[in-house]
Protein backbone atom coordinates (compact mmCIF):
# COMPACT_ATOMS: atom_id res chain seq x y z
CA UNK A 1 0.00 0.00 0.00
CA UNK A 2 2.77 2.39 0.98
CA UNK A 3 4.73 1.69 -2.24
CA UNK A 4 1.58 2.20 -4.29
CA UNK A 5 0.95 5.56 -2.61
CA UNK A 6 4.53 6.70 -3.32
CA UNK A 7 4.19 5.75 -7.00
CA UNK A 8 0.90 7.63 -7.21
CA UNK A 9 2.43 10.74 -5.63
CA UNK A 10 5.37 10.60 -8.04
CA UNK A 11 3.03 10.39 -11.02
CA UNK A 12 1.01 13.30 -9.66
CA UNK A 13 4.16 15.36 -9.09
CA UNK A 14 5.34 14.73 -12.64
CA UNK A 15 1.96 15.82 -13.93
CA UNK A 16 2.17 19.05 -11.96
CA UNK A 17 5.60 20.13 -13.14
CA UNK A 18 4.32 22.10 -16.12
CA UNK A 19 1.18 22.13 -18.20
CA UNK A 20 0.58 23.98 -21.44
CA UNK A 21 -2.62 25.91 -22.03
CA UNK A 22 -3.95 28.30 -24.67
CA UNK A 23 -5.46 31.70 -23.85
CA UNK A 24 -8.60 33.10 -25.49
CA UNK A 25 -6.38 35.24 -27.72
CA UNK A 26 -4.56 32.12 -28.98
CA UNK A 27 -1.30 32.56 -27.04
CA UNK A 28 0.25 29.47 -25.45
CA UNK A 29 1.26 29.64 -21.77
CA UNK A 30 3.06 27.26 -19.43
CA UNK A 31 1.33 26.63 -16.08
CA UNK A 32 3.80 25.73 -13.32
CA UNK A 33 3.11 23.64 -10.23
CA UNK A 34 3.69 26.65 -7.96
CA UNK A 35 0.68 28.39 -9.55
CA UNK A 36 2.85 30.76 -11.61
CA UNK A 37 2.77 30.93 -15.40
CA UNK A 38 4.84 32.13 -18.32
CA UNK A 39 4.41 32.46 -22.06
CA UNK A 40 5.49 29.40 -24.02
CA UNK A 41 8.60 29.89 -26.17
CA UNK A 42 7.79 30.94 -29.70
CA UNK A 43 9.79 29.39 -32.48
CA UNK A 44 11.92 31.98 -34.26
CA UNK A 45 11.54 32.33 -38.00
CA UNK A 46 14.56 31.28 -40.05
CA UNK A 47 13.85 34.13 -42.45
CA UNK A 48 12.04 37.45 -42.32
CA UNK A 49 8.77 37.48 -44.30
CA UNK A 50 9.20 39.55 -47.45
CA UNK A 51 5.86 41.24 -46.76
CA UNK A 52 7.12 42.76 -43.48
CA UNK A 53 7.30 46.57 -43.70
CA UNK A 54 10.83 47.94 -43.56
CA UNK A 55 11.87 51.31 -42.15
CA UNK A 56 15.37 52.46 -43.05
CA UNK A 57 17.19 55.67 -42.20
CA UNK A 58 17.76 58.28 -44.92
CA UNK A 59 20.42 60.85 -45.77
CA UNK A 60 18.26 63.70 -44.38
CA UNK A 61 18.73 62.29 -40.86
CA UNK A 62 21.94 64.20 -40.14
CA UNK A 63 21.75 64.59 -36.35
CA UNK A 64 22.85 61.57 -34.31
CA UNK A 65 22.54 60.75 -30.60
CA UNK A 66 23.89 57.66 -28.84
CA UNK A 67 22.65 55.95 -25.70
CA UNK A 68 24.71 56.38 -22.55
CA UNK A 69 23.98 52.74 -21.74
CA UNK A 70 27.09 51.25 -23.32
CA UNK A 71 26.06 52.61 -26.72
CA UNK A 72 23.30 50.01 -26.91
CA UNK A 73 21.49 52.04 -29.57
CA UNK A 74 21.71 55.29 -31.51
CA UNK A 75 19.19 57.49 -33.26
CA UNK A 76 19.72 59.58 -36.35
CA UNK A 77 17.01 62.16 -37.01
CA UNK A 78 16.10 65.04 -39.29
CA UNK A 79 16.64 68.31 -37.35
CA UNK A 80 14.25 70.07 -39.73
CA UNK A 81 11.46 67.75 -38.55
CA UNK A 82 12.30 66.98 -34.94
CA UNK A 83 14.11 68.65 -32.06
CA UNK A 84 15.74 66.85 -29.14
CA UNK A 85 14.13 67.95 -25.85
CA UNK A 86 14.04 66.77 -22.25
CA UNK A 87 11.26 64.23 -21.83
CA UNK A 88 8.69 64.71 -19.07
CA UNK A 89 8.91 60.95 -18.43
CA UNK A 90 11.75 60.21 -16.01
CA UNK A 91 12.18 56.72 -17.47
CA UNK A 92 12.97 58.09 -20.94
CA UNK A 93 16.58 58.58 -21.98
CA UNK A 94 15.69 60.84 -24.92
CA UNK A 95 12.77 63.07 -25.83
CA UNK A 96 11.74 64.75 -29.09
CA UNK A 97 9.25 67.39 -30.19
CA UNK A 98 8.37 68.02 -33.81
CA UNK A 99 9.04 71.46 -35.26
CA UNK A 100 5.29 72.05 -35.71
CA UNK A 101 4.78 71.57 -31.93
CA UNK A 102 2.02 69.05 -32.58
CA UNK A 103 3.67 65.71 -31.74
CA UNK A 104 6.12 64.31 -29.23
CA UNK A 105 8.33 61.27 -28.82
CA UNK A 106 10.46 59.53 -26.21
CA UNK A 107 12.79 56.56 -25.99
CA UNK A 108 12.75 54.17 -23.04
CA UNK A 109 15.57 51.63 -22.74
CA UNK A 110 15.93 48.73 -20.32
CA UNK A 111 18.87 46.37 -20.04
CA UNK A 112 16.71 43.26 -19.84
CA UNK A 113 15.22 41.19 -22.64
CA UNK A 114 11.40 41.15 -22.68
CA UNK A 115 9.51 38.39 -24.57
CA UNK A 116 8.15 40.02 -27.71
CA UNK A 117 4.91 38.05 -27.55
CA UNK A 118 4.02 39.69 -24.22
CA UNK A 119 5.59 43.14 -24.80
CA UNK A 120 2.42 44.77 -26.28
CA UNK A 121 0.32 43.59 -23.35
CA UNK A 122 2.82 45.01 -20.88
CA UNK A 123 2.66 48.37 -22.67
CA UNK A 124 -1.14 48.33 -22.56
CA UNK A 125 -1.15 47.45 -18.85
CA UNK A 126 1.04 50.49 -18.17
CA UNK A 127 -1.29 52.71 -20.24
CA UNK A 128 -4.29 51.44 -18.29
CA UNK A 129 -2.74 52.79 -15.09
CA UNK A 130 -3.42 56.25 -16.52
CA UNK A 131 -6.54 55.45 -18.53
CA UNK A 132 -8.42 52.24 -17.62
CA UNK A 133 -10.20 52.46 -20.99
CA UNK A 134 -6.98 52.48 -23.04
CA UNK A 135 -6.96 49.92 -25.84
CA UNK A 136 -4.76 48.63 -28.66
CA UNK A 137 -5.82 49.61 -32.17
CA UNK A 138 -3.25 47.67 -34.16
CA UNK A 139 0.00 45.68 -33.86
CA UNK A 140 2.30 45.54 -36.89
CA UNK A 141 5.54 43.60 -37.27
CA UNK A 142 8.25 45.74 -38.87
CA UNK A 143 11.99 45.86 -39.51
CA UNK A 144 13.85 49.01 -38.50
CA UNK A 145 17.29 49.06 -40.10
CA UNK A 146 17.22 45.27 -39.99
CA UNK A 147 16.06 45.06 -36.36
CA UNK A 148 12.76 43.15 -36.01
CA UNK A 149 10.08 44.57 -33.75
CA UNK A 150 6.46 45.59 -33.46
CA UNK A 151 4.69 48.91 -33.81
CA UNK A 152 1.85 49.00 -31.32
CA UNK A 153 -0.76 51.66 -32.02
CA UNK A 154 -3.03 52.36 -29.06
CA UNK A 155 -5.47 54.99 -27.80
CA UNK A 156 -5.46 56.48 -24.32
CA UNK A 157 -6.93 59.60 -22.72
CA UNK A 158 -5.55 62.01 -20.15
CA UNK A 159 -7.16 65.11 -18.66
CA UNK A 160 -9.98 64.99 -21.18
CA UNK A 161 -7.67 64.74 -24.22
CA UNK A 162 -7.57 61.70 -26.51
CA UNK A 163 -4.13 60.58 -27.70
CA UNK A 164 -2.87 58.04 -30.20
CA UNK A 165 0.44 56.37 -29.28
CA UNK A 166 2.64 54.80 -31.95
CA UNK A 167 5.16 52.65 -30.11
CA UNK A 168 7.97 50.67 -31.71
CA UNK A 169 8.98 47.76 -29.46
CA UNK A 170 12.04 45.60 -29.84
CA UNK A 171 13.99 43.29 -27.57
CA UNK A 172 16.99 41.02 -27.72
CA UNK A 173 20.46 40.51 -26.28
CA UNK A 174 20.93 44.28 -26.31
CA UNK A 175 18.01 44.71 -23.87
CA UNK A 176 14.63 46.19 -24.77
CA UNK A 177 13.52 49.46 -26.24
CA UNK A 178 10.34 51.46 -26.66
CA UNK A 179 10.43 54.25 -29.24
CA UNK A 180 7.15 56.07 -28.60
CA UNK A 181 5.64 58.83 -30.73
CA UNK A 182 2.28 60.36 -29.84
CA UNK A 183 -0.12 63.14 -30.67
CA UNK A 184 -3.77 64.10 -30.30
CA UNK A 185 -6.15 61.66 -31.97
CA UNK A 186 -7.41 64.41 -34.32
CA UNK A 187 -3.86 65.06 -35.53
CA UNK A 188 -2.57 61.49 -35.90
CA UNK A 189 -3.15 60.95 -39.64
CA UNK A 190 -1.30 64.17 -40.46
CA UNK A 191 1.78 63.25 -38.42
CA UNK A 192 2.07 59.46 -38.68
CA UNK A 193 4.47 59.66 -41.66
CA UNK A 194 6.86 61.75 -39.57
CA UNK A 195 6.60 59.13 -36.79
CA UNK A 196 7.83 56.47 -39.22
CA UNK A 197 10.61 58.80 -40.33
CA UNK A 198 11.77 59.35 -36.75
CA UNK A 199 11.61 55.66 -35.79
CA UNK A 200 13.53 54.73 -38.96
CA UNK A 201 16.60 56.41 -37.47
CA UNK A 202 16.93 53.82 -34.71
CA UNK A 203 19.97 51.57 -34.89
CA UNK A 204 20.51 48.84 -32.29
CA UNK A 205 23.90 47.43 -31.32
CA UNK A 206 23.27 43.70 -31.13
CA UNK A 207 25.77 41.58 -29.23
CA UNK A 208 26.38 37.99 -30.23
Asked if residue 119 and residue 77 are part of one domain, the reply reads yes
Q: How many angstroms separate the Cα of 125 from the Cα of each of 9, 63, 108, 128, 198?
A: 39, 34, 16, 5, 25
Asked if residue 144 and residue 98 are part of one domain, the reply reads yes
**Is 158 within a domain?**
yes
Asked if residue 90 and residue 154 are part of one domain, the reply reads yes
Q: Could you tell me the pLDDT band of residue 83, with boundaries at 50, 70 and 90?
A: very high
Q: Could you tell me the pLDDT band of residue 11, with boundaries at 50, 70 and 90?
A: very low
Q: Could you tell me the pLDDT band of residue 122, with boundaries at 50, 70 and 90?
A: very high
Asked if residue 100 and residue 34 are part of one domain, the reply reads no
3-state secondary structure of 71: coil
Q: Which of 44-48, 53-57, 196-200 has the lowest mean pLDDT?
A: 44-48
| Contact between residue 129 and residue 187 where contact means Cβ atoms under 8 Å apart | no
Asked if residue 24 and residue 66 are part of one domain, the reply reads no
Higher pLDDT, 130 or 20: 130
Asked if residue 110 and residue 29 are part of one domain, the reply reads no
**Is 48 within a domain?**
no
Q: How far apart are the C-alpha atoms of 149 and 170, rounded to whole Å?
A: 4
Q: Which of 9-18, 57-66, 100-109 has the lowest mean pLDDT?
A: 9-18
Asked if residue 189 and residue 87 are part of one domain, the reply reads yes
* Amino acid 205: pLDDT: 86
Asked if residue 130 and residue 76 are part of one domain, the reply reads yes
Asked if residue 93 and residue 22 are part of one domain, the reply reads no
Split into its structural domains, the chain has a count of 2
Q: Could you tell me the pLDDT band of residue 186, with boundaries at 50, 70 and 90?
A: very high
**Is 173 within a domain?**
yes
DSSP helix, strand, coil percent of the chain (3-state; round to 5): 20, 45, 40
Q: How many CB atoms lie within 10 A of CB 159?
A: 5
| Contact between residue 199 and residue 170 where contact means Cβ atoms under 8 Å apart | no
Asked if residue 61 and residue 23 are part of one domain, the reply reads no
**Is 46 within a domain?**
no
Give the domain CATH number at 186: 3.40.1000.10
The pTM of the full predicted model, rounded to 2 decimals, is 0.76
In this model, does residue 104 exceed pLDDT 90? yes
Asked if residue 181 and residue 107 are part of one domain, the reply reads yes
Range of the domain at 140: 53-204
**In 28-50, which positions are buried (b, 16+ CB within 10 angstroms) versus exposed (e)?**
ebeeeeeeeeeebeeeeeeeeee
Amino acid sequence: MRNGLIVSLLILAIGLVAEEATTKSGKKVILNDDFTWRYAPVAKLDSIPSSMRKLNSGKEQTSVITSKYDGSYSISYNPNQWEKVKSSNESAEFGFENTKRTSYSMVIYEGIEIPMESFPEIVLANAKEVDPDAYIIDVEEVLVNGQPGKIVKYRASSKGLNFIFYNFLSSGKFGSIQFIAFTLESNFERDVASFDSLISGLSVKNTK
